[in-house]
Structure 1
């Protein structure tokens, strides 16, 4: 089986997980864990271990994290390494809702290399400026 693991500082990962559930349904292959304010690294590591308890050595894991080099990601990768899963794990930072949704849609149907390419593309495409068009009447108010 393949799992999507969302990790972050604060409540970002569980919040994103909640939105994914709302839009795509509750799934057993989507997991989340966060390093909360004031939580020690040892407590967070145990939470990651508990979250990954049902993940077997033959499974694959896609990790989406908030920032590169942050404790949530590095600790999650350490736990995955301890479980012998690092070789069957791909990880991305800068997670956002379009990335998470793409991962969920392709999690069980796409091979890891294709999923990896797809998530990279989705990450780049998901960040853009939304240009707000104003009418001529709005501009006259500024004069």
Structure 2
């Protein structure tokens, strides 16, 4: 099984994990790690290192972060390790739910990361575009 660490600004990490839990996703092996606004880079790096030791002591790990270029992502990138630790930025709830449903079967952390990104990307929609497409297809509103 592959583990996961959700590293975000503030409490977003906890809220994503709580929401996935409410959807009844199996969130075992997933840890939320909020970085506080006043954490120094060294303190944040130490928090991530400790969480990785807990989550990834015997398995590969995907680190989910909230925003590419943000502090959680920038610090997490220093832990990137081919075949063992992968970083996925722009985390959303569908990504966490998908991870929770496929983590047992996944063998390769890099492949799983790409599956998760695809799922997260497909979940982002402009509602009016979908409604317009349905009208064009003759689907009643």
TM-score under structure 1 normalisation? 0.76
Residue by residue over 1:2-42, the C-alpha shift from the partner in whole angstroms, topping out at 9 and shown as x without a partner, is 21111111211121112122223564310121221222222
Match of 1:108 among 97, 104, 110: 104
Q: Structure 1 pair 76/117, CA: closer, same or farther in 2 (3 Å)?
A: closer
Could you say which residue in structure 2 is the equivalent of 1:120? 117
Query: Would you say the 8 A contact 2:7–2:65 is kept in 1?
Result: yes
Matched, 1:96 2:54: no
TM-score under structure 2 normalisation? 0.76
Q: Structure 1 pair 46/129, CA: closer, same or farther in 2 (3 Å)?
A: same
Could you say which residue in structure 2 is the equivalent of 1:137? none
Please list every run of 5 or more consecutive structure 1 residues that lacks an aligned counterpart in the other structure.
134-143
Paired with 2:22 and 2:53, the residues of 1 have a C-alpha distance of 25
Aligned residues, how many?
127
Q: Structure 1 pair 124/8, CA: closer, same or farther in 2 (3 Å)?
A: same
TM superposition shift of 1:129: 1.3
Paired with 1:25 and 1:124, the residues of 2 have a C-alpha distance of 19
Q: Structure 1 pair 53/120, CA: closer, same or farther in 2 (3 Å)?
A: closer
